Structure 1
Amino acid sequence: MEAVHLQRTYLDLTTPHVADACIRLGIPVRCAPVNTRPVWAGTHLVGRVNPVKHYGSVDVFLEAIDRAEQGDVLVVDNGGRLDEACIGDLITLETRLAGLSGIVIWGLHRDTSELRSIRLPLFSLGAFSTGPQRLDPVDSCALLSAKIGQHIVTAEDFVLGDDDGVLFIPLDQAGPVAEMATSIRDTERYQAARMKLGTTFRKQVHFDEYLVAQKSDKNLTFRQHLRSIRGAIEE
């Protein structure tokens, strides 16, 4: 799926919608660590992964940006380090000028005030004032993959991020995942609209019928009941 199509398709989908869709489709849910947060609230990020591993110098970022396509997301593996910030305002500006959609860091950022002004979506483990004071050898995999928490991601993945976190999904599953996520989103919006008009969620999902059926079949779960009536809320 091309960058523009990907961004349009996922523009109104949240990470909870997409996570539920992945579960429905049997696709592993790969989340960045729970403390991976956006620099400002209301951020929405989607794009193909452009992976890069940090070794102490910014030149590897410049090389990754140079080989990226417009709409990609720079996904930075800094080993989850909390003793240095590896991305600041200049690399963020360079990323934006190259037409990338944003940055996700398994590590820390700095220049927070400037980043908020640049307004390129950026997710990290937090802010730290000091940059790298090391220079490690660069290996041949520096631009091929990135580790984010327990997950390895490549250019065969795309990333979706918002206030609820960051997800990585196989690029070749972007269409089916979006279709399922859209169905889940629309169902939940319809349920919420009915609740605001006074129809309880219990009534919408026939909860009384579930309780009766559950007495007859102790193996029946609420999740199975919801799926039988095409009701979303739990996966």
Structure 2
Amino acid sequence: MSAHIEPVAITQTVLDACEHLDTASLSDALDSLGINGGLPGIVSQVPGTRCVGVAFTVQYEAVDTPRAFKGAANYIDHVPCGAVIVSSNAGRHDCTVWGDIMTHFALANGIKGTVIDGVARDIDTVIRCNYPLFSRGRFMQSAKNRAQLKAVQVPVVIDGVTVRPGDLLVCDGSGCVVIPQQLAAEVVRRAQAVEQTERSIIEAISTGSTLENARSTYRYDQPWLTDAEKVSVGERP
């Protein structure tokens, strides 16, 4: 039996910090904790966009009664401002669960972005709106009579990675990463250290250091160590 996980509210400080962190650094921070948070195969459909927010999860399933319109998108009326929608359509490529109407609604209501385990349509409109949309691909065929809403605000599993309501989502040009809400502050702290380590290495090689020496000096084997932690183990800050 899996342990019950108590929800923890993600602070605005953590959300603000993530606006300045990339998914690669956050993934490295998760690696340091033995957690796999990347969502393989889900990529940006609107170049140059990114999003940060708490997960509002949506679970779809195949229709049980063909030709019965289900209004499967109406859940969006209940998505809070600042959320990132995580929509699980079992990775299906034959029907979409996102399009232009939902994009306009999301923009009008402060929704930060959408992550789809599946495909989306009306991509030209989504690009014109500059809305952060991340999915497995693009396909124009509607979900009407093909997929129906099963549940909202339940854990969803994408390629073995569980996304729970309230988890932290960060998405950029490298993909999407989910951070368990109870670990968000620690992951952000470690990701900030990763980025500082990489800045130090880049500065060193730009002034003549070899890559090997720079990586050794700044502990690239454990880039999530802070300068103080590196000093404590006898390494140069």
Q: Above 0.5 in TM-score?
A: yes
State how 1:163-174 maps to structure 2 within 5 Å.
Answer: 163-174=173-184
Cα RMSD for the two superposed structures: 2.9
Going from structure 1 to structure 2, the CA distance change for 1:13 and 1:119 (only over 3 Å counts) comes to same
Equivalent residue for 1:22, pick from 13, 20, 30: 30
Going from structure 1 to structure 2, the CA distance change for 1:61 and 1:144 (only over 3 Å counts) comes to farther
Asked if 1:51 corresponds to 2:62, the answer is no
Going from structure 1 to structure 2, the CA distance change for 1:230 and 1:100 (only over 3 Å counts) comes to farther
The size of the alignment, in residue pairs, is: 215
- Alignment match, 2:162: 152
TM-score when scaled to structure 1?
0.80
Output one character per residue of 1:11-49: Cα deviation in whole Å (capped at 9) or x when no partner: 1111110111112233x112212x211012222221111
State how 1:1-12 maps to structure 2 within 5 Å.
Answer: 1-2=9-10, 4-12=12-20
Indicate conservation of the 8 Å contact 1:80/1:149, yes or no: no
The code of the aligned residue for 2:130 comes to R
- Alignment match, 2:5: none
C-alpha deviation, 1:143, in angstroms? 3.7
C-alpha deviation, 1:111, in angstroms? 0.8
Q: Identity of counterpart residues, as a percentage?
A: 25
C-alpha deviation, 1:188, in angstroms? 0.4
Going from structure 1 to structure 2, the CA distance change for 1:38 and 1:171 (only over 3 Å counts) comes to same
CA distance in 1, matches of 2:179, 2:57: 14
Indicate conservation of the 8 Å contact 2:53/2:83, yes or no: yes
SS in 1 for 2:97: strand
TM-score when scaled to structure 2?
0.79
The code of the aligned residue for 1:184 comes to V
C-alpha deviation, 1:100, in angstroms? 1.0
- Alignment match, 2:207: 197
State how 1:7-86 maps to structure 2 within 5 Å.
Answer: 7-26=15-34, 28-33=35-40, 35-55=41-61, 59-63=71-75, 65-86=76-97
C-alpha deviation, 1:206, in angstroms? 4.6
Q: Which of the two has greater helix per residue?
A: 1
- Alignment match, 1:111: 122
- Alignment match, 2:4: none
CA distance in 2, matches of 1:229, 1:121: 44
Going from structure 1 to structure 2, the CA distance change for 1:7 and 1:61 (only over 3 Å counts) comes to farther
User: Structure 1 regions of 5+ residues with no counterpart?
Assistant: 208-221
SS in 2 for 1:83: coil
SS in 1 for 2:138: coil
SS in 1 for 2:87: strand
CA distance in 2, matches of 1:50, 1:142: 8
SS in 1 for 2:26: helix
User: Structure 2 regions of 5+ residues with no counterpart?
Assistant: 1-8, 64-68
